[in-house]
Amino acid sequence: MLRRIRSFLFLVMSAAFLAVFAVYAISEIGPEVVTVETFAKNGQAIPTRLWVVDAAGHAWLRASADSSEWLRRLEAQPRVIMHRVTGVGEFTAVPVRDDAAIDKVTMLMRSKYGLRDWILSWIRAEGHSVAIRLDPIPDSPV
């Protein structure tokens, strides 16, 4: 009996590990994954890997929940640095909570990332998503 319980627990733990790995793999594989540096209260840069889309002359990010740590940091300090294949830029991050902007960014993410976006949206509730517009900082030294 103890052997069956151990086998069952092993299977459950293995399935959980595979699920976590699958979510990570899905989020990292795609047309473009950028690194966005937000800043802690002490000024330390904290990198976060995110998907990005472009619309109306701006890069846009999406936080799947308004409680995301990286979103909290950029709301406290809106200056961010984005590392993209095309280069590095400094931006002012502007969270946009209006439904039209969120829907537009979600549509663009679905178009660019396809099934990956659908799967991650299914896993994470989209009800409180936040769109983030990145306004370039002119003459940035970055």
Q: Where are the domains of the chain?
A: 1-30, 31-136
Q: How far apart are CA 130 and CA 111, in angstroms?
A: 18
Distance CA 74, CA 132 (A): 10
Fold for domain 31-136?
Pnp Oxidase; Chain A (2.30.110)
Summarize pLDDT for 13-53 with one digit per residue, the tens.
766 555 545 544 555 555 689 999 999 999 999 999 999 99
Q: What's the distance, Cα to Cα, between the start and end of the chain in Å? A: 62
**pLDDT 10s per residue in the chain (142 long)?**
778 887 777 776 766 555 545 544 555 555 689 999 999 999 999 999 999 999 999 999 999 887 889 999 999 999 999 999 889 999 999 999 999 999 999 999 999 988 777 676 766 655 578 999 999 998 877 6
- Give the three-class secondary structure for 107: helix
pTM above 0.75, yes or no: yes
